[in-house]
Structure 1
Amino acid sequence: MIPEESVKSLRAMASAMSGHTPMSADILTMLTDDIESDGPIGRILAEHPDAAAPLFSLRALAGVRLLVLTGRAPELSGHLKDLMSNADNPVYAERTRELFRQTLLRNPTEIRAALDRPVQQHQPNRAGSLLRGLSMLAAPKVRLLEIGACAGLNLALDRYRWFGHGWEWGDLDSPVRLAVSGPQPNKFEIVDRAGCDLAPRDPSDPHDAMILRSFIPHERDVEQMELDDAISLAARSDIRVEKADAVEWLKRRLSQPSDTGTYTVVWHSLFWWYMSEQSRNAIEDILTRASRNTRLARVCFEPVEWGGMPRLQVSIYS
């Protein structure tokens, strides 16, 4: 059953999306209407055991997007090629909704698989907040630990080329080239990096890579290209995310202190509010205890409360 609070969150998200991804916002509104009217799509979503999970219906959008990306929804795929030239065409919008409904209802096995997967909106440009946070610490050496790391793209921030106002930073020859706001970063070296996720994605696995792509809305072609470049780079790297619960993983990772000259940084982005209150409290306790023996900070890009706008937060524990 999808609770009323979740329905309100979906409508709020659709409203926030309408300015930059209007087609995806319209489809999300259609799904929400179907949930409230107990329509056929709404019943499919409501019957899933994860239906009460935050922003659960985004999994359905990703499921249809995956069918388009993999060539299993040719009619919808062909239709979307004319999206940019039909931005204000109500007839085209209604046809988009119709084809989306048909694609979802005619592919129950693929949609069920998509509903079983967590939401994983994993853009590499989010690491720009991490870069700014690490610079604030002014630590020459960093041990970087990420919870909810997905495919580990944020862990590779020093292997990207960043462009700010009047400055550049990172790997000069990197195929991943990203714009970022803020002052020029300080110099630092990531001497160790690791991440965990309950459902990690392997960037070298074509199916996992396609799942990551499915969470980028059709309209965001620049972000799609950035993600493709980051996935290709990560596939050739040594970074792999461990399948583990964030609480137990952090407890294990922080059981031994880092070197004297190294700052341990725990990083997460748009992940905190997907965890239970119990898990959030447990992580705070783990960080507080570890700070007695380790130079430790938490850098995150999260809303202060569920449903709010994310912001960079830097918490120094020791």
Structure 2
Amino acid sequence: MADEKTNRGAFLIQQHYCDANAAPIYGRMCGALAAGLTRDTAIGARILDWPGEPTRDALPLRLFGGLHALVLRGADDALAAVYAGAVTGEAEILPILERVLGEQEAALMPWLDGPPQTNEPGRSGALMLGLIEIARACGPKIELLEIGSSAGLNLLIDRYRFDLGGSVSGPGDAPVTITPEWKGPPAPAVPVAIVSVRGCDVNPMDATDPAVAARLAAYGWPETPARLTRVRAAIAMLAERGVDLVEADAADWIEARLAEPQAAGVTRVLMHSVVWQYLPEPVAERIRVAMQAAGAAATAERPLGWVMMEPDRALGHQVIRARSKPGDGAWVTVGTSHAHGTWIDTSGQVGYAAPGAALPEAARVKV
């Protein structure tokens, strides 16, 4: 049943994430809509009467993607001023947003129909940190399986160059170098040799399609224009040489991949970032069961790994974790990250799990 208080609260939760991730423009927009959104527009009514779980559904980011698309095509000067950070008062922002919701109903309504696909190459830095932990435990060779691959930009992880706190790896001539702001000790100098990369998505996107590229650009946050440059460079890499990305249910696909023969001396690794919250619980449970069974059968010659970058609501940041089998299979927290990989923290400062420590139960994603 729709719950207006919960639906408004989703914007306050998103505001918390925005404030924690240096995104004041979206933070102010969230605050304005949480306090003052009305049913005077069809968009407003749909949001306030949202029948699902609005935070899990990323409802605010669905709307903001549509609004950003309007800005990027020059459709509304006042909205562009909000997105440029020139209008800072929530009381001034609200009437602009309310007007745009009414005037641009036809353009905005479809953006509410599906979750955002923020296919951010910067997240590969956090994922690589997790893969380094797998390589440390199991050896350098990795067969990589990603679920929720969206347009496949993180399937280029073997072609990106990385500078993780001064620990540099990847092709020297890579068109994209992932260089997050680093807090804490650098990534361990452990070699990672990715021998294959495959991915699936329930609704994969062809980023080389100009319309899709524009949609991906709209999901970028206005505070970080450098992301747009990086996304476009990654799309150019895809155009030059594609990736192995298929349309599939995540559980169906993982079950099938885990049933395939595994090469000796290669660790098979499941990887995902900001995906788990979107999985229907029956799908998530099937993946847990499949990974548990595969882990029980793993050997030192054919290990199994799992790497994730998923949000923790209490921190407002992403937690980077890894686990491997054989062994005790315990989750290891290797760091925390900005939602888009802008920074990575391995310092173990207050509010963060220390590198190598198990994540406290209260902060865990259920996997």
Are 2:112 and 1:115 aligned? yes
Q: Is the 8 A contact 2:8 2:35 kept in 1?
A: no
| Equivalent position to 2:132, from 131, 135, 145 | 135
Q: Is the 8 A contact 1:68 1:76 kept in 2?
A: no
Tell me the equivalent position of 1:196: 200
Q: Is the 8 A contact 1:31 1:57 kept in 2?
A: no
Q: Aligned equivalents of 2:281 and 2:78: distance in 1? A: 40
Indicate the larger mover: 211-220 or 160-169: 160-169
| Equivalent position to 1:314, from 301, 311, 322 | 322
What secondary structure is seen at the aligned counterpart in 1 of 2:99? helix
Indicate the larger mover: 18-27 or 115-124: 18-27
One-letter amino acid matched to 2:32: M
Q: Deviations over 1:191-216 (max 9, x none)?
A: 22111112211111111111111111
1:108 Cα offset (Å): 2.0
Q: Aligned equivalents of 2:104 and 2:271: distance in 1? A: 37
Tell me the equivalent position of 1:54: 57
Q: Deviations over 1:118-139 (max 9, x none)?
A: 1222211111121111111223
Q: Is the 8 A contact 2:149 2:204 kept in 1?
A: yes
Tell me the equivalent position of 2:23: 21
Q: Is the 8 A contact 2:117 2:150 kept in 1?
A: yes
Tell me the equivalent position of 2:69: 66
Q: Deviations over 1:79-113 (max 9, x none)?
A: 358x35x47x54xx655443333333222222121
One-letter amino acid matched to 2:112: L
What secondary structure is seen at the aligned counterpart in 1 of 2:175? coil
Tell me the equivalent position of 1:284: 288
1:62 Cα offset (Å): 0.6
Q: Is the 8 A contact 1:164 1:184 kept in 2?
A: no
What secondary structure is seen at the aligned counterpart in 2 of 1:238? coil
One-letter amino acid matched to 1:214: A
Aligned residues with identical type, % of pairs: 26
Instruction: Quote the RMSD (CA, aligned, Å).
Output: 2.6
Tell me the equivalent position of 2:303: 295
Q: Is the 8 A contact 1:59 1:118 kept in 2?
A: yes
Q: Deviations over 1:168-203 (max 9, x none)?
A: 211212221221443244223222211111221111
Q: Is the 8 A contact 1:76 1:100 kept in 2?
A: no
Indicate the larger mover: 46-55 or 168-177: 46-55
Q: Is the 8 A contact 2:204 2:246 kept in 1?
A: yes
1:269 Cα offset (Å): 0.9
What secondary structure is seen at the aligned counterpart in 2 of 1:124? coil
Structure 1: segments with no counterpart, 5+ residues: none
Q: Aligned equivalents of 1:302 and 1:240: distance in 2? A: 23
Are 2:237 and 1:233 aligned? yes
Tell me the equivalent position of 1:160: 160
Tell me the equivalent position of 2:268: 264
1:232 Cα offset (Å): 2.1
1:31 Cα offset (Å): 2.4
Q: Aligned equivalents of 2:3 and 2:240: distance in 1? A: 40
Q: Deviations over 1:15-74 (max 9, x none)?
A: 331362222111122222345x54534203245665745321321111111122233x14
One-letter amino acid matched to 2:258: L
Q: Is the 8 A contact 1:203 1:232 kept in 2?
A: no
Tell me the equivalent position of 2:249: 245
Matched length: 311
- Given the superposition, is the C-alpha separation of residues 110 and 179 from structure 1 closer, same or farther in structure 2, using an over 3 Å criterion? same
TM-score by length of 1: 0.87
Q: Aligned equivalents of 2:44 and 2:97: distance in 1? A: 14
- Given the superposition, is the C-alpha separation of residues 4 and 281 from structure 1 closer, same or farther in structure 2, using an over 3 Å criterion? farther
One-letter amino acid matched to 1:16: Y
Q: Aligned equivalents of 1:278 and 1:305: distance in 2? A: 22
What secondary structure is seen at the aligned counterpart in 1 of 2:69? helix
What secondary structure is seen at the aligned counterpart in 2 of 1:222? helix
Q: Aligned equivalents of 1:102 and 1:74: distance in 2? A: 10
Q: Is the 8 A contact 2:17 2:316 kept in 1?
A: no
Structure 2: segments with no counterpart, 5+ residues: 327-367
Q: Aligned equivalents of 1:189 and 1:69: distance in 2? A: 39
One-letter amino acid matched to 2:146: E
What secondary structure is seen at the aligned counterpart in 2 of 1:303? strand
Tell me the equivalent position of 2:11: 10
Q: Is the 8 A contact 2:4 2:49 kept in 1?
A: no
Q: Aligned equivalents of 2:114 and 2:61: distance in 1? A: 10
Indicate the larger mover: 179-188 or 260-269: 179-188
